[in-house]
Amino acid sequence: MKEHQAGWLFVAPALLLVGLFFVLPVVVGLALSLTDFDIYGIGDLTTVRFVAFANYSQLAGNPLFWQALKNTAVFVLLGGILSILLALASALALASRLTVWPSFFRTVYFAPVVMTLVAAAVVFRYLYHPDFGLLNRVLGLFGVSPVFWLGDPRYALLAIILLATWKNFGANMVVLLAGLGTIPESLYEAAKLDGASAVRIFWHVTLPGLRPTLLFVSLTTVIGYFQLFAEPYVMTGGGGPNNATLSLVLHMYKEGFRWWNLGYAAAVAVVLTLIIAAASTVLWLVQRKKA
């Protein structure tokens, strides 16, 4: 057997799985988005009609789609930035030699990641309670009137962002801690000998050394946050109040599995895939330009 044939033989199982569980669903989803596939099509495929780009045209004229896109964009921007900044601050604090019990705090910060979302939602619903919630009691000490966090469209998305940030920043923190460990100690010693301040050391040594790790963390966070679903589904009953927490994935779920407009839901999925691919490409290009 030739060397290149042996190589193809080794990667064949992985390629088969990628084709079966990634490429094939994408192709089927794309094909589905060009049809009017609905609940009748499940029972009888002959009722399915090819409608070309009608689903995309309907999607572009649907105010709910634009509301979901706006909510998702706000969630990705605010939630992503908050998650990464909080993870970076925690990683820097835990990597400092001045921190006591770093292993204990690393476990505490990572605990929300492994907690089930339903359990976290129960806790946060009590925290956000307008009459008895801890958050309103703290705000009351500063003279702020009680806020109906999950019932007021002005604050509901912010409440979801805070929950997602608290639950997810621990995973990024662990990755950034590993990234901090790869920066040579000699660079810090040289900077200190040159009299660099802590801010300049962070800006010229730590941040450049963390650039590949930050790219990975940014990509995984953005991709994960674009798929926002469980938090509003559990906390606000599916995108309420008044669609203030409706995300693209939630909109796709409702259209596909509540109203059985599977062709339209597939069109939403295709658009979301393109948006995620575009955002990931932009992030990669920005990081590559700075490198």
Q: What is the pLDDT of residues 169-186, one digit of tens each?
A: 999 999 999 999 999 999
Question: CA 199 to CA 195: how far, in whole Å?
Answer: 12
- Predicted confidence (pLDDT) at residue 5 exceeds the cutoff of 90: no
pLDDT of residue 78: 95
Contact assessment for residue 201 and residue 191, using Cβ atoms and an 8 Å cutoff? yes
Write the burial class of residue 32 (CB in 10 Å: 0-12 exposed, 13-18 middle, 19+ buried). buried
pLDDT of residue 182: 92
What is the residue extent of each domain of the chain? 34-289
- Predicted confidence (pLDDT) at residue 66 exceeds the cutoff of 90: yes
Question: CA 231 to CA 168: how far, in whole Å?
Answer: 12
Hey, which residues does 35 pair with through a beta bridge? 50
Beta-carbon contacts of 101 under 8 Å, excluding residues fewer than 6 positions away, are none
As a whole number, mean pLDDT of residues 198-220 equals 91
Q: What is the pTM of this model?
A: 0.89
pLDDT of residue 72: 96
Q: What is the pLDDT of residues 226-281, one digit of tens each?
A: 999 988 998 888 888 889 999 999 999 999 988 899 999 999 999 999 999 999 99
pLDDT of residue 167: 92
Topology adopted by domain 34-289: MetI-like fold (1.10.3720)
Q: What is the dihedral of CA 232, 76, 220, 284, to 10 degrees?
A: 160
- Which pLDDT band holds residue 291 (cuts at 50, 70, 90)? low
